[in-house]
Chains A and B, each alone.
Chain A
Amino acid sequence: MTDARYRANARRLQNEYTSHDALAEITAVITELLH
């Protein structure tokens, strides 16, 4: 794998992580299940 492709895939994974807000998503699920 080329360095550029490796870096691009690392950025893709990082973006996937940073797109989440775990506490907000946990709160949303609890709210959803309680209603």
Chain B
Amino acid sequence: MTVPDRYLHLGVQGFEYPRSDAPANIRYIGTLPVNSGEVRPLPDWWQEVSTAHAVVVVSREPQPIRTSATDRADDGSTRRTDILVIALTGRPAELTNVPSNVRTAVFIPFGLLLPYTDVLVSNAGYGGVQLALNHGVPMVLAAPRRTNGSLRTRRLDRSRH
């Protein structure tokens, strides 16, 4: 990392552990714009997002949500029907026993979704965490131990202080 003239890091210094030995060529540049101009068809239920009392997004990146994982993640939603839960599955999935207040989609650009999101539930994928921080969206993060996701959850926990 000391070889490049500049190392442009997607993120901010406040998210990183303090380092007295950080190479001088590192520059933090925040996040890239998420609206690429690409037009994707939005789900039929999209208008519900702007009128919902609260929106909870469940995203498991980069691995897709399995049916069983989605069922578990949405268990609590059956008790709060005023909350719209959006489960991003990552790939086409046949979900069963989906509660009435849960909507599913393979993918929705975070640039469109996060302005309406009250809570993001995620396995701490790097891009999602950075964008949620950029939009000021509270997160509930869970990742398997000894993975990049678990390192990010620990780093985020430290950066709160």
Contacts and interface: CB of A to CB of B under 8 A. Distances in A.
Interface of A: 1, 6, 9-14, 16-23, 25-26, 29, 33
Interface string B1-24: 000011010101111000000000
Interface in B21-45: 27-33
Contacts of B138: 10
16 contacts: A1-B160, A9-B161, A13-B12, A13-B14, A13-B133, A14-B133, A14-B136, A16-B12, A16-B30, A17-B12, A17-B130, A20-B30, A22-B30, A22-B33, A26-B8, A29-B8
B148 interface: no
A33 B5 contact: yes
A17 B31 contact: yes
B159 interface: yes
Contact of A29 (B6, B14, B28): B6
Contacts of B134: 14, 17-18
A23 B30 CA distance: 10
